[in-house]
Structure 1
């Protein structure tokens, strides 16, 4: 069903589904019109309609995914185990890592009480005599096949847990706790629902390869919807705070609600910090520059940094709203810096720029996970001193206070991106993506010797030492 054919109720349900997806903001604006369009004034309707009309570009088609990658469950491995072990039903949820591990442990017991965490094929199998001693009447071949299936099932459970955590943190980095908003609460407040859905869609936009900073996701449509929420006496500010924990929103919460948010953001900070520490310890990063080196897993690192910094900013904003910002005098864990592509860093230098000032602050402070686990001390005074050395305002930059709110942004249609490079239309974007253009790898599919029209790539790109047009 197209958006134009949806009822207001159906569009509101679709908006709730978008919280866990990556729909373009213009599509979300179209849904917003279906939900509250009849209640908008003429000027408001023109503002939202201008954005919604952009959804019809290229007949509504985009080469980019409308979702974040979802982990693939273990249904195939479970089916194989059920057949091989001759079970009627595995009694297992293939999408739940804990259920998979429990199933793997039960299979291990049938193989001679093998420790489920010790499933090394060379060391942990039972020989013929050991199998006979515990009553396993299987040939060596059948026993080995079952052992391998159990081993793979256990490994799959571990991988699935990691991938689910990564996706969960991706949503936190992009949209706070919006993806966990209860459907019934969402449907009960259409104005707040429309604001949350549109703002999070803007926050989920992919990063563009550019020297300019990111556009402010809080644009004129978000501002319009927020003002409508502020004018409604029964607005669900708790729901809005899940995605937009700013001073004006947090001030409208009860003390109990602010306390709950503090706990959730603090818990998220510690969870992500532990994962950051693991990646940091297994890698070789240049803390002074944070420019990517060969072998660095920049995707995982930047994902975790995004989640950590989002949680940290929300935690500090909630502390401030609760009148407890003085707690930072005792302990103030710093931000975590993302890795920057070497060609983008070179582009900055070639235009007279340099590293972001925050990198200098980060390099002078103890690592945030060491502060959070008590290994190192970092007070607000330490942060302010590091900021002073780097010429950074510690409060407005978000290092020791709630980050200053930028000017209301201006909507522009979502660009077609191939590894951050803007492409003129989705057809060319699909071709270039399939050929590996702008990926840092060798171009394939014949494009390396083909002449691509100059106006296909619409981004400004660095020529020396950076990306070049395919």
Structure 2
């Protein structure tokens, strides 16, 4: 009986740990607070932690929602999601009197494309031909093709397909925006499959915790933002170094030199290919945003009408991808590539009040802005229109009185360890002491830069 009881106890413990591990993996797609993930890690690693490791981890875990009196946060725990084409697809099925197909994934670009490609021939519409004057069939053309539809009915179906194509374009753009926002925060960690994630507990814990730190929101300040790599991240990474580790998975979120050197040449090559492709995609999107907006390149101070959110998220994605690309280049001993092609950073847009705050407190415009102004834009380099070399970047950094190596313009950034600080409740970057008060202020649009409004409860 004792042996049977022990066996059941061990199995229950394994099942519990597997559930926790799956919850940890789900956080890679979410924006959980570091405190809550630290609590999960305590449950998962348990007695494997030394006294000192547990003490460090409990700095965060004690502030988890489980361990606080309120057990509530005003901060969103998920990334934004794109609204799919369910409404448009279902209306198309209704108007065209098609057999309902529940297997259609309304959020899948390829599935929607296939649906449009299958439905458009019914009224002899060419996909992408959406000019109302020149791309519709007239009465004679409809008759020749055996299309027994009134002009009104034909136009209704034609317009419906046009709107569906427009929705597809919008959905594709929104998915891309969200993808780049995630990359800008935590690299490629959201692409790690559970089968890879579960291979090593220590690696999984580091990835999950560091992911939450990377996802922290920006604080409204005239100083630097909180560094993602803190003392808890360092402790968890040290556990990976001291024990077994899945360095391939870790490299998707943390590409420090000590991690990259643990990879095989084949893995380094794959990762370099991933980041190079990602850089190209981001560069194309940056060009699109740049051409649609009238940004002040000299100051990078946001102006009315600028799509600052999309630009800043995409700029963050570029800089994150560029840092990872640079790390791998150096790890492979291929820094000579920079003599031919050295992509520059992309600066974010700054709010006017933050810039004014800088000046009033004795600061000045970020000297990196001067370098950004002088070197070719990243998409121009990718398109082959301009050339940007290491020598050029060094020269402009010198003129701006910036160390090109320490500032990350021509070499990997130096990783510094930050002290753990409790995650603040933020309302548009402003720290609020109480989560319920923060919720109220958000509803009334305080600190949003817009006129506040009263909301009926």
TM-score range, shorter chain: over 0.9
Structure 1 residue aligned with 2:394 = 384
Cα distance in 2 for partners of 1:172, 1:321 equals 21
Q: Say yes or no: does 1:409 pair with 2:418.
A: yes
- What is the distance in 2 between the residues matched to 1:137 and 1:13? 55
Q: Bigger CA drift: 241-250 or 423-432?
A: 423-432
Residue in 1 aligned with 2:447?
438
The residue aligned with 1:247 is: 257
CA distance in 1: counterparts of 2:167 and 2:413, whole angstroms? 41
CA–CA distance in structure 1, aligned partners of residues 69 and 164 of structure 2? 44
Contact 1:98 1:157 in 2 (8 A): no
Which residue of 2 is the match for residue 31 of structure 1? 40
Q: 2:335 aligns with which of 310, 325, 330?
A: 325
Contact in 1 for aligned 2:59/2:420 (Cα 8 Å): no
- State the alpha-carbon separation in 1 of the partners of residues 17 and 221 from structure 2: 38
Q: Is there any run of 5+ residues in structure 1 with no aligned partner, and where?
A: 1-5, 448-470
CA distances 1:70-99 after superposition (whole Å, capped 9, x unpaired): 112112211111121111144643221222
Preserved CA contact (<8 Å) 1:7 1:34:
no
The answer to whether structure 1 residue 189 and structure 2 residue 191 are counterparts is no
Is 1:14 matched with 2:26?
no
Distance 2:394 2:71 in 1: 48
Selected match of 2:151 from 126, 140, 143: 140
Offset from partner CA, 1:126-147 (integer Å, 9 cap, x none): 3333222211222333223222
Q: Is contact 1:416–1:426 with CA below 8 Å preserved after alignment?
A: yes
Secondary structure of 2:345 counterpart:
coil
| Residue aligning to 1:359 | 369
CA drift of 1:427 comes to 1.3
Equivalent residue of 1:59, what SS?
coil
The alignment partner of 2:426 has SS state of: strand
Structure 1 residue 184: Cα displacement: 1.0
Two-structure CA RMSD over aligned residues (Å): 1.6
Deviation of 1:44 after TM superposition, in Å, equals 1.3
- Residues 77-123 of structure 1 show CA distances to partners (whole Å, capped at 9, x for unaligned) of 11111121111144643221222123223222111x22221223454
Tell me whether 1:51 sits opposite 2:63 in the alignment.
no
Q: Distance in 1 between matches of 2:389 and 2:139?
A: 63
User: Equivalents in 1 of 2:69, 2:445: separation in Å?
Assistant: 23
**Conservation of the 8 A alpha-carbon contact between 2:344 and 2:393:** yes
Name 2:6's counterpart in structure 1.
none
State the partner residue of 2:435: 426
- Alignment length, in residue pairs? 439
Q: Is the 8 A contact 2:443 2:455 kept in 1?
A: no
Q: 1:272 aligned to 2:282? A: yes
Equivalence for 2:226: 215
| Aligned 8 A contact 1:208 1:422 in 2 | yes
Q: How far apart in 2 are the matches of 1:284 and 1:30?
A: 46
1:93 to 105, 125, 129: 105
Deviates most, 18-27 or 431-440 = 431-440
TM-score by length of 2: 0.93
